[in-house]
Structure 1
Amino acid sequence: MTASTYTDAPSLSRTLQGITCVLAGMVLFVGQDVLMKGMLTHYPVWMLIFSRSIVALMTLLPLVLWLGAPHRILTPLWPWYLARAMLFASGFAMFYTAFPFMGLAEVTTLFFAAPLMTATLAALFLQEKVGAHRIAALLVGFAGVVIAMNPTGGNFGWISVLPLFCALTYAISQIIVRKIGEQDTSLVIGLYTISFSGFVIVPMGFVVTQMIVVSPELNHLRMSWPVPNVKGIAMLALLGAIGTVAYTLVSRAYQIASASVIAPFDYSYLPLAAILAYLLWGEIPPHTTFIGMVLIIVSGMYTAYRELRVNRSADDNPPTAQTVFTPGAPSVVLADALDAEAMELDEFDKKLP
């Protein structure tokens, strides 16, 4: 599959639909993380990630079976997806571990170092070209990360680096997707990544709890899982459903609209998270977080713009920078999603009621 399989420019109506889908997806992803932050007072991280994965499996598996080709359940790439699931599970376990100690805006701002790390790793290991403009943008972005971390501040500690480790695992998982190529659709990649992560998170949690002392402040890392009541089951199901619907909406956005138009709207997550955290919990991030957020957004959007607008031949691989960067969502190269799924877009539309 190459970029030549889908060359027609999306219509204005589909562009608007794509923007609407990605914005709705970002709202839901913020809602997912807000719900996760609230539920950590009752349930451990491992249980929440496991529950979310089970709901995603129950939702995405029937969808893949219903859509049929080019989606496939049996894939020889499953060992790679298992490796991605381990990165996904460990990364977001660290991401959510920071929630009780840091504001939502602070955690998510540091996570958005992932696009910068992905671009850097792609240059180092995939030999993607890095021009002067892109290098400058990356330097600005990493400066924003350092400012947002505020290492000279009194609140800096080991918790502060957890979102960055999450961003690193996210970036590495994206490099894996690029390395194995365009052999599966984004829906299949998401199904395997989210589902496998639910199963590897259980032994992962057991190992962690054997290595650390679960003090009262780290109670959300305990391995004892409380039995939820009816309301708790509903909340766990809602957590998984929100994330699954959000991922589906964002994937759909990149199927029906141009990636160069849609990509900047991924960054709407950051101001939405900051606003909602303020309204719900009165969180006011330090000024260093706001400065870092602005620099990271500017850097990431400019890098994506340069990658998406560069002239490429039909046989060139699409850039790794074309990626959905959202906390809690498996990363997928957007151009791959376009190439693999645009061909069955009309068939998908026909199946919709």
Structure 2
Amino acid sequence: MQKKNLRNLFIFGGLLVAFSLPFLIPAATRLSDRSTAVEKGKLSSEAERFETRGDYKIKGGKVVFDFELINHYPEAKELQFGSGQQFEIVIRDEKDEEVYRYSEGKAFTLALVFRNIDPGASLAWQDRWDMRDQEGKMVSPGRYRAEIEIMPIPNEDDERIEASQLRTSIEFTLAEAEELGLNEDGIITSAAAKGIIAELADDVMHAISNRDGENLAAYVHPKKGVRFTPYTYVNLEEDLVFTPPAVRSFFTDQHVYCWGSYDGTGDPINLTPSEYYSRFIYSEDFLNAEEIGYNEVLSSGNMLENQFEVYESPIVVEYYFPGFNPDYMGMDWRSLRLVFEEDGDDWKLTGVIHNQWTI
């Protein structure tokens, strides 16, 4: 009797489980789905953020920092900046002492700036450090750390962005100046400069000798333009600067400009671009100059040399004739200098300096 009751109990239990399964499985599935959804929501929430990434390279005597702010949200985001300064970079040495600050000595426009970032896209910036400290001296070889911070201001409608999402740091090592292709003054060495610019300078000189404004304009710095200096010393107040479009029409422009003052008399140099070209640019056949110097001064007169102070980490190519008439004992020398500065990954023409013996 006891065995029969036990058997009936097992049969009843089996029937109960069988009838319950159709109801238990969906419930368990719903519970599992709910748990998975919660987990996915948690992961999604963690993934929805901003991220700052950065990298560096050493090029042309500078440390070039490329960095970006990435939008990992599923929707576009608008960032608001309180001025023209959208980021800060601070570089510290091995002793954790500050040697460079991007904003030092700069003035920024005080105006709201709005920038949009699509999902998965980024905002990108670049800064170039000439490896000089805040006193203008070349820093020593060693380990350095660049601390980068993107600087949006809080928007009332959006939640505050965590500081960690707007920051990144880059560690790098600077070798001896010679290994970087620099001399003791931080100027690109002659050998390094020649390797970088010789072919480009030759193309520019061909355009100049051919009076080809259209071709020459393509080599001019798109933002800085090209400055024309009639006598060695670069005068930021008097030297004229032509934009690429102005260079394009240089040889057809009949307007008379004042290019500075004649040496000796102080009279104004009032000439058309073509007249200036004949007198203060291609006054000799510089395409076939007897000597060419790369970041080295070949000519020597009584005027101050300041091209390496005025231009930013430039390469200066000098086309030099040491003299023409032996009776003048070399005092009739002539030279033309082409000044190049970096524009992103390219080198662009930013200066044309005419040189000759002056009184």
Say which one has the larger Rg.
2
Q: Shorter-chain TM-score: which interval?
A: under 0.3
Query: Hey, which of these two has a bigger chunk of helix by percent?
Result: 1
Give the TM-score taking structure 2 as reference length: 0.23
> Which gives a bigger RCO, structure 1 or 2 (Cα 8 Å, sep 6+)?
1
Give the TM-score taking structure 1 as reference length: 0.23
